[in-house]
Amino acid sequence: MLGQYKAFLLDIDGVLVRGGVPIPGAQEALTQLRNTGKVLLLTNNSTKSRVGSAARLRECGIFVEPSEIFPSSYVAAQFLRRFGCVRYWYIGEAGIREEMEAAGHVLVGPEAAEWLVVGMDRGLTYEKLAQALRALLRGARLLATNEDKTFPTPEGLVPGAGAVVGALRGMGFSPQFVVGKPSAIAFEVALTVLGVQAKEVLMIGDRLETDIGGAARLGMDTALVLSGVTGAEELRGAPVRPTYVARDLSALVRGEFLAVD
């Protein structure tokens, strides 16, 4: 089954790790996928850069190169290059700042920003929202790394980037671009780097609306693993139909699919 694909896009949380620990068999399955085709990890998590994401995975016992990971912080910085080196302000964590800097963009204050880049921010304050409002009222354009409502941690779900975007919407401003899954932008940046067509790719993820729905809209085959946020119950009657369903990544690479009616 896997042999028909030239490349594999994998989500991270719920596919390789869950709550800071590796999902059993994930590292071995990842190695097998690498032996079959190109592998890229596509995650909406914007709190870390590529280097930071690789370090986080290493702590969990999953070994990947920074170049194999596309967090939405990286996708945002690469996407903005089409507007040149932009002057930006941000609400988010180190991942956004590190990737924006690496791409040549220039961090300025909210008074001078052409772009406001927002992602999940565990240090969100009223002052940050007030600064963002100042930038937006001056005409800064708004880019969201993603709009995930929640983010999984060992202690349970915490507010995701959607909470920040929601606060800005509450002030009357909507993002001009959202680059993370299910946006086509994330998938297109990945396809360009991999040098493959959508139909040659299998997207493997645990969220129906972002991983599976977004990839399917671009014509990719999809595999839903039930090791993350989506359970078999939820899948039944869902409008999004993955090409394959498996218990986890390990079962998927062994070709052990689950039938869903």
Task: CB nearer to Mg ion: give 47 or 131.
Answer: 47
Residue 213 in contact with Mg ion, rule: CB under 5 A: no
Binding segment (CB under 5 A) for Mg ion, from list 14-22, 47-55, 128-136, 162-170: 14-22
CB of 44 to Mg ion, least distance (A): 8
How many residues of this chain bind Mg ion (CB under 5 A)? 5
**Which residues make Cβ contacts (< 8 Å) with residue 7, sequence separation at least 6?**
37, 38, 39, 40, 194, 196, 200, 201, 202
Residue 206 in contact with Mg ion, rule: CB under 5 A: yes
CB of 88 to Mg ion, least distance (A): 27
Residue 248 in contact with Mg ion, rule: CB under 5 A: no
CB of 76 to Mg ion, least distance (A): 18
Residue 127: exposure state from Cβ atoms within 10 A (0-12, 13-18, ≥19): exposed
**Contact residue for Mg ion among 7, 8, 9, 11 (CB under 5 A):** 11
Ranked by CB distance to Mg ion, the top (closest) residue is 14
CB of 45 to Mg ion, least distance (A): 9
CB of 235 to Mg ion, least distance (A): 15
Contacts to Mg ion from residues 217-236, by CB under 5 A: 228
Task: CB nearer to Mg ion: give 175 or 180.
Answer: 180
Residue 148 in contact with Mg ion, rule: CB under 5 A: no
Binding segment (CB under 5 A) for Mg ion, from list 61-69, 71-79, 206-214, 252-260: 206-214
Token representation of residue 61:
């016992």
> What's the rounded Cα separation, in Å, for the pair 186 and 205?
14
Nearest Cα residue to 212 out of 199, 197, 200, 225: 225
Nearest Cα residue to 154 out of 231, 59, 65, 68: 59
Q: Report the C-alpha dihedral over residues 193, 198, 202, 203, rounded to 10 degrees.
A: 70
211 is catalytic: no
11 is catalytic: yes
Residue 257 backbone phi and psi in degrees, to 5: -95, 155
Peptide bond into 182 cis (omega under 30): yes
Contact indicator for 231, 206 with CB cutoff of 8 Å = no
CB of 141 to Mg ion, least distance (A): 28
**Contact residue for Mg ion among 14, 95, 119, 213 (CB under 5 A):** 14
Task: CB nearer to Mg ion: give 213 or 228.
Answer: 228
Residue 200 DSSP code:
G
Contact indicator for 40, 193 with CB cutoff of 8 Å = yes
**Contact residue for Mg ion among 5, 7, 10, 13 (CB under 5 A):** 13
Nearest Cα residue to 7 out of 212, 196, 254: 196
List active site positions: 11, 13
Residues in the site for Mg ion, rule: CB under 5 A? 11, 13-14, 206, 228
